[in-house]
Amino acid sequence: MTEASPSRKAEPSPAAAIVPDAVAGHPPGGASTPVELNTLARQVAEQFRHQAYPPTMIPGMTRIGEFLLLAGAGAVATMAAGLETQSSWHGPTLLCVSAALLAIFCLQLADAYQRPALRAAMRTLPRVLGAWTLVCALTAPVPYLLLGEAPSVRWLAIWFCTGLVALAAGRFLLSAAIGRWARKGLMERRVVIVGGGEPAKTLIRALETEPEGDIRICGIFDDRKSSGRSPDVVAGYPKLGTFAELVEFGRATRIDMLIIALPLSAEERIMQLLRKLWVLPVDIRLAAHANNLRFRPRNYSHLGDVRMLDIFDKPIADWDSVAKRTFDIVFTIVALCLLWPVMIGAAIAVKLSSAGPVFFKQKRHGFNNQEIDVFKFRSMYTDRSDPTAKRAVTRGDPRVTPVGRVLRKTSIDELPQLFNVLRGELSLVGPRPHAVAAQTADLTYVDIVESYFARHRVKPGVTGWAQINGWRGEIDSDDKIRFRTAHDLYYIENWSLWFDLKILFLTPFRLLNTENAY
């Protein structure tokens, strides 16, 4: 959406519902001061720069894969038995699909989708084959009971054997793949320990005995100087730096979880930590075993057998991220199919109206504060463009071309960002990305709003909740970036596909108001 001043001030959602108690009301100060990682931390960060496959996704993917295998086995049996040439093939097909669903349910009851079971195919194979045999025995008499017709013995035999082979082969291949991914570091849960000394040592020993074996401890961060209470190496893992360096480490790597190994008596220290760390797109947990806490079981989450208290969850994670990415691709392709004449016309107009390229690239903050190149149709004279965006566009700005003025007023200049969506750098809906050097007066945005970088826990979007609520355009006052950030955080905490669909639906209508678009 075109950056233009809002014509009205929409009421923001209460900050208390968005910002955690540890952060709300805390005055900004020093948040934008860059911290350089030490040599050891940089070396370790380089090892974890690439994304690993989340082990939590494997059971769900296995369920989908085995459903398709069993349904496919039914299709093979139907064709091998010659039933597809008969008018009665609909019954076996429906029965196969229903049986495949029942098989997944039975395998779930047999704990065959636990990650240790997926790793040990040989040990769990009898359980898997027993569940499939039970499903076939239960479904075989269904045609007779419902239709009074005896099922084809040949069809049943082929279906049973094909399903048996498919399940066994699939399990062995998956077990081998999981082992290979684990050895290469492609499938693991990456954990950083926050706090050193004896509590960290106890936690590490507990995690090392975790039965699923997919925990990768990346290192330890502690503000205390080297001493007996906080040595440089704890349980064989090095201390990589301070808490301030941990934020930069989290931005340079793809870690999954921060575990705070501090006693609850250090309440103020924990609150200070959360004020720094919650801007990272990771799960944040407090190790409960070190605090001798005695809550009800439902108050805990577990990492293996280690009890944890959940502080923050990574937003839009696991299957939610798959759903959102699918949503982005489908709707982006639809948008490109509908808007390509407009985009071609805009490109021709830009090229004919002034010298220079059709597209304009600008460095903006993306997911986890990483820099990305965002595409737009060029709306300024080439020799007067401002890639840093330090100087915002104002009404009657002489840097903007006549064609550019129309493109900006109609938001057509933003359409090339659909290609950023296909590349995976942007989402269709999310917090709008700002230029890396953008500021208000002499202050950067993070100097005004300490929680500003929390916007980057998800991918930025082409449009967003703040924009359709009127917080578009030039940010020429502190209040504007505060309200925009509040709306962005509200979106992150309340995300759903329906919320995305609502924002997409409202966006064209809100673009009709072009009073302050220039």
87 pLDDT exceeds 70? no
In the chain, % of residues over pLDDT 70? 81
- Residue 389 within any structural domain of the chain: yes
The CATH number of residue 256's host domain is 3.40.50.720
pLDDT of residue 144: 63
19 pLDDT exceeds 60? no
- Average the pLDDT over 406-434 and give the result: 90
329 pLDDT exceeds 80? yes
Taking residue 481's Cβ as centre, other Cβ atoms within 10 Å add up to: 24
**Final residue belonging to a domain, choices 312, 336, 362:** 312
C-alpha closest to that of 464 among 424, 422, 434: 434
Same-domain check for residues 213 and 170: no
pLDDT of residue 315: 92
**Final residue belonging to a domain, choices 163, 183, 203:** 183
pLDDT of residue 192: 92
Backbone angles phi, psi at 34, to 5 degrees: -70, 145
Residues with Cβ within 8 Å of 149's Cβ and at least 6 positions away in sequence, in order, are 143
Same-domain check for residues 429 and 303: no
**Final residue belonging to a domain, choices 122, 156, 183:** 183
Same-domain check for residues 504 and 458: yes
476 pLDDT exceeds 70? no
pLDDT of residue 494: 92
14 pLDDT exceeds 60? no
201 pLDDT exceeds 90? no
* DSSP-derived secondary structure for 421-482: HHTTS-EEESSPP-BTT-EETTEEHHHH-GGGGGGGGS--EEE-HHHHTT--S---SHHHHH
- Average the pLDDT over 302-310 and give the result: 79
Model confidence band, residue 47 (pLDDT cutoffs 50, 70, 90): confident
H or E, element range at 356: none
- Residue 12 within any structural domain of the chain: no
Same-domain check for residues 238 and 272: yes
Cα–Cα distance measured from residue 301 to residue 331, given in angstroms and rounded to the nearest whole number: 36
pLDDT of residue 23: 41
- Residue 502 within any structural domain of the chain: yes
Same-domain check for residues 220 and 137: no
pLDDT of residue 153: 79
- Residue 28 within any structural domain of the chain: no
Which has the minimum average pLDDT: 13-27, 55-69, 104-118? 13-27
24 pLDDT exceeds 80? no
pLDDT tens-digit series, residues 434-458: 888 777 767 777 878 878 888 999 9
Same-domain check for residues 117 and 43: no
Same-domain check for residues 464 and 339: yes
Answer for the pair 415, 346: CB distance below 8 angstroms, yes or no: yes
pLDDT of residue 512: 63
Please state, rounded to an integer, the average pLDDT across all residues of the chain: 80
- Average the pLDDT over 380-384 and give the result: 79
Model confidence band, residue 33 (pLDDT cutoffs 50, 70, 90): low
pLDDT of residue 482: 86
Same-domain check for residues 218 and 153: no
Answer for the pair 196, 239: CB distance below 8 angstroms, yes or no: yes
Let me know if 275 is exposed, middle or buried by CB neighbors in 10 A (0-12, 13-18, 19+). Answer: middle
Same-domain check for residues 324 and 425: yes
* DSSP-derived secondary structure for 4-72: ---SS-PPPPPGGGTS-TTTTTPPP-STT---PPPHHHHHHHHHT-SPPBPGGGHHHHHHHHHHHHHHH
Model confidence band, residue 95 (pLDDT cutoffs 50, 70, 90): confident
DSSP 152: P
Model confidence band, residue 394 (pLDDT cutoffs 50, 70, 90): low
In the chain, % of residues over pLDDT 90? 25
- Residue 503 within any structural domain of the chain: yes
pLDDT of residue 458: 93
Same-domain check for residues 342 and 446: yes
Same-domain check for residues 371 and 494: yes
Q: Which residue has the higher pLDDT, 8 or 314?
A: 314
Domain that includes residue 242, residue range: 39-52+188-312
Which has the minimum average pLDDT: 66-75, 389-398, 471-480? 389-398
pLDDT of residue 299: 59
Model confidence band, residue 229 (pLDDT cutoffs 50, 70, 90): low
pLDDT of residue 291: 56
- Residue 411 within any structural domain of the chain: yes
pLDDT of residue 158: 87
pLDDT of residue 84: 56
Residues with Cβ within 8 Å of 235's Cβ and at least 6 positions away in sequence, in order, are 200, 201, 204, 205, 208
- Residue 244 within any structural domain of the chain: yes
12 pLDDT exceeds 70? no
pLDDT of residue 145: 62
pLDDT of residue 226: 67
Structurally, the chain folds into a number of domains equal to: 3
- Residue 161 within any structural domain of the chain: yes
Which has the minimum average pLDDT: 145-154, 179-188, 230-239, 394-403? 145-154
Which has the minimum average pLDDT: 135-149, 163-177, 232-246? 135-149
Same-domain check for residues 333 and 305: no
Q: Which residue has the higher pLDDT, 246 or 139?
A: 246
